[in-house]
Structure 1
Amino acid sequence: MRVLIAPDKFAGTLTAVQAAEAIAAGWRRTAPHDDLDLAPLADGGPGFVEVLHQALGGELISVTVTGPLGEPVPGVVLLTEEDGVRTAYVESAQACGLELVPEDRRDPGATTTYGVGELIAAAVDQGAARIVVGLGGSATNDGGAGLLAALGAEPADRLRRGGAALATLDQVDLVAARARVAGVELVAASDVDNPLLGLRGASNVFGPQKGATAEQVHQLDAALTRWAELADRKTADAKGAGAAGGLGYGLLLLGARRVPGIETVLQAVGLPDRAARADLVLTGEGSFDFQSLRGKVVSGVAALAGRYAKPCVVLAGQVKVGRREMGAMGVESAYAVTEVAGSRQEAMARPAEHLERLAARVARTWSR
């Protein structure tokens, strides 16, 4: 039996690569003769570069950039040659990810995307003619202002200080930032289609996840409104402008085009052909919940499996999706690590071990 194993990361515990390996190890315990094809995935958020490097090869360029709180953090730029085009892949979460900020210091009014601009500048300096920026998992809400400041936008001192500082702006100059990436094709890889402002905007939808209080949400939306009025109000309404705390907006101001993050990865790793050859498709993530239903790895893999009439099964840390919703997205069954671990705390404590045990159990049902 040919089994395609294509999970996302299990946030906070396992990378997508580690999750795929744990599932494979468990499956082999029960069904050692099955042919396993491991395809760890990402949707543009954390793990984006790691997954693409494993699939595409290429060269990793190490750089030190500014983190969300202003401290230096390590990052990498993946350089590849695709159809004669020098292409760079950048993962925004490496420079402004939520996991870089301790819970007691999370403040989306103060965190910056300056380091993402530094990653893009490093890619430009490496001669990239095309730069794909994976968006997701950010701790920021600065509308991409920090990113633009790193590329030369003015006033840099205020643009790099986080979303709250944008309320004090009286003018913006993006000429130098646009010149820095002139002639480079910019691509924003994100499955989030929210605009920058309003009830569906970055502050209201994602701000609370990053530590914003109800009062701060209103303040940040007002600050982003001021930012948009000075930079480009029309672009603030574009799909994806609100991605990653408005990083999408910053990239759109530079002329970027938005593409679905999961589709970018699926095509890069050749998943359509691999799914067509499989008898069973396994995917998974930390929490299989309502967010999984739109634009996430699990939904993308399930849709692909359905295209080729292959059964799709989910292994997740927790399962919070009902059978009706599950069936509507093309998932046959879903199994939770907590079922074998006994509790969420134990599942988090030894995630690889318990995911392996779950996979061994699932194989008894699905391997033939």
Structure 2
Amino acid sequence: MRVLIAPDKFAGTLTAVEAAAAIAEGWRRRSPDDVMDLVPMADGGPGFVDVLHASLGGELLAVTVTGPYGDPVPATVLLHGGRGGTAYVESAQACGLHLTPEAERDPERATSRGVGELLVAALDAGAGTVVVGLGGSGTNDGGAGLLAALGAVAEPADALDCGPSSLATLESVDVSAARDRVAGVRLVAATDIDSPLLGLIGTTNLYGPGKGVAADRLQAVDATLERLVGATDKKVALARGAGAAGGLGFALLLLGGTREPGIGLVAEAVGLAERARQADLVVTGEGAFDFSSRSGKVPYGVAAVAAHAVRPCIALAGQVLIGSREMRALGVESAYAMVDVVGEQASFADPAGSLARLAERVARTWSH
């Protein structure tokens, strides 16, 4: 029996690569003759580069970029196909929420400059296409820092570099140098977020609270992004995906980039559809499997590919928070939870071992 194992990360405990390995280890204990095809997945957020490197190979370029509060942070650029090929970068490596302890977060000062520096590194490496995975950001600056790193200039001079707080003083922006810097290069924003930049369904109101923006500051912070939009392009701010990753989507679209669904882009890059056709069973998973998984998350995307290949798809998760009817609406035959097998405490204490135990038990039902 051939089993395709294509999980997302288990947030806070396991990367997608680690999760796939744990599922395979547990499955083999029960069914050692089954053939495992490990395809760790991502939707553009944390783990995007590692997942693609695990499946595609390519050259990893180590760089140091500016973190959300100015400190240097390590990051990587994945170059696939050599000069003229495709570079993959992950915004969360430069401005991710996980980079700063919760007590020290101040999203009104956080900058996305480091993401722009990742783009510069990809351009310097000779990439013909640069794919930017968007997700998990701790910034809310509309991509102003990214624009500055690529050469955009503003009045006052530092208005783009210190988060929404400095955008409050913004008078004008010239992005022509930034556009020249990426001229001739295909830019792709990989995200499943389709919200605009501004307003009640914009990045600040939807995602700002999760980054630490106080409820009584949401309107003011949104107003600072409106100043950036007024100085650049109001039409782009309304585009689908402009609100992704604190507005990094807006900056990339402003530079002539396009938006592609993250899960679809990764699935195509790793050849998921063909690999699903060769499998007898598809196994996916994530930390918490609930109905929000329909919103562009990995399990829903993997299940859709499995359905197209007419293969059953099951999910393994830390917790399963929906019933069988909702599972089927997501295209998943059955879902199984680690906490039901080993308990919540053990699931967090030994996530890889717990996931392997769950996979071993599930193999009793699904392996031939």
TM-score normalised by length of structure 1: 0.97
Deviations along 1:104-148, one digit per CA (max 9) or x if unpaired, are 122221111100000000111111111111111101111000100
What letter is aligned with 1:108?
Answer: P
Q: Which residue of 1 aligns with 2:288?
A: 287
Residue number in structure 2 paired with 1:366:
366
Give me the whole-angstrom Cα distance separating, in 1, the residues matched to 2:51 and 2:89: 12
Partner of residue 39, structure 2: 39
> Which residue identity is paired with 1:113?
S
RMSD, aligned CA: 1.2
Q: CA deviation digits over 1:220-268, x for unaligned, max 9?
A: 1111111111111111000000000100001011000111111111011
Rounded to whole Å, the distance in 1 between the matches of 2:288 and 2:217 is 27
Partner of 2:302: 301
Q: 1: distance between equivalents of 2:332 and 2:283?
A: 10
CA distance in 2 between partners of 1:179 and 1:46 (Å): 29
Deviating more after overlay: 322-331 vs 136-145: 322-331
- Determine if contact 1:106/1:211 at 8 Å carries over to the other structure: yes
For residues 169 and 321 of structure 2, the distance between their equivalents in structure 1, rounded to whole angstroms, comes to: 42
Q: Secondary structure at the match of 1:36?
A: strand
Structure 1 position 152, deviation (Å): 1.0
Q: Residues 64-116 of structure 1: CA distance to partner in whole angstroms, max 9, x if unpaired?
A: 0001121100011111118x842111111100111111111222211111000
The share of aligned pairs that are identical, in percent, is 64
Q: Which amino acid aligns with 1:238?
A: A
Tell me the equivalent position of 2:242. 241
Confirm or deny: 8 A CA contact 1:287 1:319 kept in the other structure: yes
The secondary structure found in structure 1 opposite 2:230 is helix
Are positions 1:62 and 2:56 aligned together?
no
Letter of the 2:163 counterpart: G
Question: Is residue 17–residue 54 contact of structure 2 (8 Å, CA) maintained in 1?
Answer: no
Amino acid of the structure 2 residue aligned with 1:239: R
- Number of the residue aligned with 2:123: 124
Deviation at 1:57, TM superposition (A): 1.4
* Counterpart secondary structure, 1:94: helix
Q: Give how far 1:322 is off.
A: 2.6
Report how far residue 211 of structure 1 moved.
1.4
Deviation string, structure 1 residues 151-172 (Cα, Å, up to 9, x no partner): 1112352211012321221111
Q: SS of the residue aligned with 2:29?
A: helix
CA contact (8 A) 2:65 2:118 kept: yes
Secondary structure, aligned partner of 1:168: coil
Query: What secondary structure, in the 3-state scheme, does the structure 2 residue paired with 1:200 have?
Result: coil
1:10 Cα deviation from its structure 2 partner: 0.7
Tell me the equivalent position of 2:24.
24
Q: What corresponds to 1:3 in structure 2?
A: 3
Question: Is 1:341 the counterpart of 2:342 in the alignment?
Answer: yes
The equivalent residue for 1:320 is: 321
TM-superposed deviation, 1:336: 1.1
**Using the alignment, how far apart are the partners of 2:296 and 2:131 within structure 1?**
18
Amino acid in the other structure paired with 1:55: S
SS in 2 for 1:157: coil
Q: Secondary structure at the match of 2:231?
A: helix
Unpaired runs of 5+ in structure 2? none
Q: 1: CA distance between counterparts of 2:126 and 2:343?
A: 51
Q: Aligned partner of 1:189: which letter?
A: A
SS in 2 for 1:335: strand
Q: Residue 33 of structure 1: CA displacement?
A: 1.2
What's the offset of the Cα at 1:332?
Answer: 0.7
Q: How does 1:97-246 map to 2 (within 5 A)?
A: 97-155=96-154, 157-246=158-247
In structure 2, the residue corresponding to 1:111 is in which secondary structure? coil
The separation in 1 between residues aligned to 2:49 and 2:73, in whole angstroms, is 16
Q: List per-residue Cα deviations over 1:190-209 (Å, max 9, x = no partner).
A: 11101001111100111111
Q: Which runs of 4+ in 1 moved over 6 A?
A: none
CA–CA distance in 1 between the matches of 2:308 and 2:229?
40
Letter in 2 for 1:51: V
Aligned to 1:351: 351
Paired residue secondary structure (2:172): coil
Match of 1:278 in 2: 279
Aligned equivalents of 1:111 and 1:316: distance in 2?
A: 32
Q: TM-score, normalised by structure 2?
A: 0.97
